[in-house]
């Protein structure tokens, strides 16, 4: 077994047949002349250039993505993007600290969220403590009971701002989500500037492909872990053992530590009876929420949204309260040949909207997916103006993915969309998974165990914490110091708090 840069042995065990997890770029069948952008990102697809995302852009640099011209501008909004909703607006306004005046939904949201976001940006730890005072609220109850908005206004805000029933999630979840998408003005986003976004030319899977090339110890694919256990529960420092479906050779292996990065739903399917989890950790694995999401990419004969649509769409999104909800226009390929095919993300849905359309994702050629496409064609017609049959005739191929119903997420073939906590879950359950189990030898990582759900930065920061826990348990002060050079601002669980959480796990202490 080879060693990593710290001189440690390790294995990477992956249940599926590919690396990347929720980083997943789907490439359509290559044409005879493969000179156009023939893909769409089913998973992670865009990255805001803010202080929060520093770790991600640092990773891009280590992988030479900037040097190779792979990091390009992502267009969040573009002239001509359409909003097809019931045409009702309020006259409420809100003025941001930089003097920008907002109206309607944006004003109402800023009035509710900005005080929390400003505190988080100023000092994340103190801002987090303040936000946790309202963690028992859902976004809906906070807007109604604290801000005093009427039910009809909240429903209208939810429709325009997010997805159906998303305001039933924790208020803290929606604030953090808003922070990621709309970073307040300040040193990291100067007053009066528009927040910049980036994406990866070739799809985000280029990132994980390069990561896989860079590491010495390659992942072991198609190895589904079915059990994690302590080798000797009576020992102060028990070794760890795992069981892997169809691989009896693992029964004799022993590990000093296990870092579990599987979605929490997958961990629930493992036998963890002898893994040393306490009651609260078992509760957290069972209860912490995940959101549903679907994406449907359609390969058309031409990039008609840029060529013949009125208005034309050069990136950005169009939004609607119709079933498809969001249409995402690619931020790349503007120089592709005039006669080149084009790939459009024709529907992007989450929460209840995803669960409903996701019920029709049953495999290419099924009657359910024919219905799915008919719905999407009708919605495209309402947004862009042609008849539904026109979009059907333009279709070369399509791909639909339901992240929630997937065998690698326990939710059907890839992980659940992302963690999405309900009221009270951050303050009562989340911290149970930012401490190790098995007397300090089993560690939980992944975006669900971070404060930045649905983002690669959450996964990176959670792994930094897990590595720190390993070094603390092994009393490797030399490695802790070296690791700390790369683990800067980000997660709440740093410094004293990280040490306290680690100690809780080693000693089996409850909150």
Q: What is the pLDDT of residue 1?
A: 38
| Residue found by looking up tokens 């801002």 in the block | 127
Average pLDDT, the chain: 87
Q: What is the mean pLDDT of residues 73-79?
A: 92
Q: What is the pLDDT of residue 188?
A: 46
What's the length of the chain? 511
Dig out the tokens for 209 from the structure: 């492909």
Which position has the higher pLDDT, 199 or 309?
199
Task: State the pLDDT confidence band at 2, using cuts at 50, 70 and 90.
Answer: very low
Q: ω before 311 within 30° of 0 (cis)?
A: yes
**Helix 205-214, helix 54-62: angle, nearest 10:** 60
Which range has the worst mean pLDDT, 55-59, 66-70, 98-102, 327-331? 98-102
Distance CA 281, CA 160 (A): 36
Residue 125's SS3 state is helix
Beta bridge partners of 271: 227
Q: What is the pLDDT of residue 33?
A: 52
- 281 within some domain: yes
Q: What is the pLDDT of residue 486?
A: 62
- 235 within some domain: yes
**Helix, strand and coil percent figures for the chain, each rounded to 5:** 40, 15, 45
Beta bridge partners of 26: 40
Task: State the pLDDT confidence band at 487, using cuts at 50, 70 and 90.
Answer: low
Backbone angles phi and psi of 351, in degrees to 5? 50, -135
Nearest to 462 by CA among 440, 433, 495: 433
- 136 within some domain: no
Distance CA 441, CA 439 (A): 6
DSSP one-letter string for 181-244: HSPPSBTTB-TTPPPPEEEETT-THHHHHHHHHH-SS--B-S--EEEEEES-TTSSS--EEEEE
CB 313 within 8 A of CB 305: yes
Contacts of 14 (CB under 8 A, 6+ apart): 219, 220, 221, 222, 223
List helix spans (H) across 13-170: 54-62, 104-122, 124-132, 139-141, 151-161
How many CB atoms are located within 10 Å of the residue 267 CB? 22
- 223 within some domain: yes
- 247 within some domain: yes
Q: What is the CATH number of the domain that holds 473?
A: 3.50.50.60
Task: State the pLDDT confidence band at 83, using cuts at 50, 70 and 90.
Answer: confident
Distance CA 117, CA 175 (A): 7
DSSP one-letter string for 129-196: HHHHTTTTSBHHHIIIIIS---HHHHHHHHHHHS-TTGGGSBHHHHHHHHHHHSPPSBTTB-TTPPPP
The span from the first CA to the last CA of the chain, in angstroms, equals 38
Distance CA 254, CA 240 (A): 6
- 246 within some domain: yes
Inter-CA distances, 172 with 99, 131, 196, 392, Å: 26, 6, 24, 42
- 184 within some domain: no
Nearest to 486 by CA among 468, 473, 498: 468
| Residue found by looking up tokens 């050779």 in the block | 249
Distance CA 303, CA 330 (A): 10
Task: State the pLDDT confidence band at 510, using cuts at 50, 70 and 90.
Answer: low
Q: What is the pLDDT of residue 375?
A: 98
Nearest to 25 by CA among 201, 212, 215, 211: 201
Q: What is the pLDDT of residue 88?
A: 39
- What does the pLDDT look like over 95-105, one tens digit per residue? 777 677 676 78
pLDDT at 211 over 50: yes
Domain count, the chain: 1
- What does the pLDDT look like over 410-463, one tens digit per residue? 433 334 468 899 999 999 999 999 999 999 999 999 999 998 999 999 999 999
Q: What is the mean pLDDT of residues 218-227?
A: 94
What is the pairing mode between strands 83-84 and 317-320? parallel
Q: What is the pLDDT of residue 340?
A: 85
Nearest to 402 by CA among 420, 386, 416, 387: 416
- 199 within some domain: no
Angle at 220 between CA 218 and CA 224, to 5 degrees: 150
How many CB atoms are located within 10 Å of the residue 77 CB? 11
- What does the pLDDT look like over 137-158, one tens digit per residue? 999 999 999 999 999 999 989 9
In terms of residue numbers, what domain contains 460?
Answer: 219-290+416-507
CA atoms within 13 A on the CB side of 9: 5
CB 177 within 8 A of CB 161: no
Contacts of 149 (CB under 8 A, 6+ apart): 108, 143, 157
pLDDT at 506 over 70: yes
Dig out the tokens for 226 from the structure: 């079915």
Q: What is the pLDDT of residue 446?
A: 93
CB 174 within 8 A of CB 116: no
Contacts of 202 (CB under 8 A, 6+ apart): 25, 39, 70
Distance CA 391, CA 374 (A): 10
Q: What is the pLDDT of residue 90?
A: 39
How many CB atoms are located within 10 Å of the residue 1 CB? 6
């Amino acid at each position: 077994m080879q060693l990593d840069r710290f001189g440690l042995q390790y294995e990477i065990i992956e249940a599926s047949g590919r690396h990347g997890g929720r980083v997943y770029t789907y490439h359509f069948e290559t044409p005879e002349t493969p000179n156009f952008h023939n893909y769409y990102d089913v998973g992670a697809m865009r990255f805001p250039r803010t202080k929060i995302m520093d770790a991600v852009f640092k990773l891009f640099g280590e992988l030479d993505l900037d040097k190779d011209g792979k990091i390009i501008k992502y267009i969040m909004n573009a002239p001509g993007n359409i909003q097809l909703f019931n045409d009702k607006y309020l006259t409420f306004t809100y003025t941001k600290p930089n003097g920008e005046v907002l109206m309607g939904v944006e004003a109402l949201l800023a009035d509710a969220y900005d005080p929390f976001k400003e505190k988080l940006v100023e000092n994340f730890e103190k801002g987090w403590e303040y936000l946790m005072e309202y963690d028992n609220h859902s976004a809906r109850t906070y807007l109604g009971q604290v801000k005093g908005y009427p039910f009809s206004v909240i429903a209208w805000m939810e429709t325009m701002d997010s997805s159906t029933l998303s305001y039933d999630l924790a208020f803290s979840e929606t604030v953090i989500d808003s922070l990621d998408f709309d970073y307040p003005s300040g040193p990291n986003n100067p007053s009066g500037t528009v927040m910049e976004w980036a994406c990866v030319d070739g799809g985000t899977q280029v990132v994980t492909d390069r990561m896989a090339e860079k590491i010495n110890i390659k992942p072991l694919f198609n190895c589904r872990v079915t059990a994690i256990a302590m080798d000797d529960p009576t020992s102060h420092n028990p070794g760890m053992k795992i069981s892997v479906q169809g691989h009896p050779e693992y029964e004799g292996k022993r590990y000093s530590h296990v870092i579990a990065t599987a979605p929490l739903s997958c961990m629930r399917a493992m036998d963890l009876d002898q893994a040393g989890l306490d009651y609260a950790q078992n509760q957290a694995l069972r209860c912490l929420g995940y959101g549903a999401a679907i994406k449907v990419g359609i390969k058309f004969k031409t990039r008609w949204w840029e060529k013949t649509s009125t208005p034309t769409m050069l990136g950005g999104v169009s939004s609607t309260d119709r079933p498809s909800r969001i249409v995402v226009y690619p931020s790349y390929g503007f120089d592709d040949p005039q006669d080149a095919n084009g790939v459009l993300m024709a529907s992007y849905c989450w929460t209840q909207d995803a669960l409903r359309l996701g019920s029709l994702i049953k495999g290419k050629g099924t009657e359910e997916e024919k219905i799915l496409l008919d719905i999407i064609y009708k919605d495209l017609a309402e947004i862009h103006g042609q008849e539904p049959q026109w979009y059907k005739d333009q279709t070369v191929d399509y791909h639909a993915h339901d992240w929630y119903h997937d065998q690698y997420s326990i939710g059907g073939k890839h992980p659940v969309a992302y963690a999405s906590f309900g009221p009270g879950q951050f303050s009562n359950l989340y911290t149970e998974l930012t401490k190790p189990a098995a007397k300090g030898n089993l560690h939980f990582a992944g975006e669900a165990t971070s404060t930045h759900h649905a983002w690669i930065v959450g996964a990176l920061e959670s792994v930094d914490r897990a590595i720190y826990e390993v070094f603390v348990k092994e009393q490797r002060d030399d490695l802790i110091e070296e690791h700390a050079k790369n683990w800067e601002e980000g997660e709440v669980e740093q410094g004293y708090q990280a040490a306290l959480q680690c100690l809780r796990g080693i000693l089996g202490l409850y909150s």
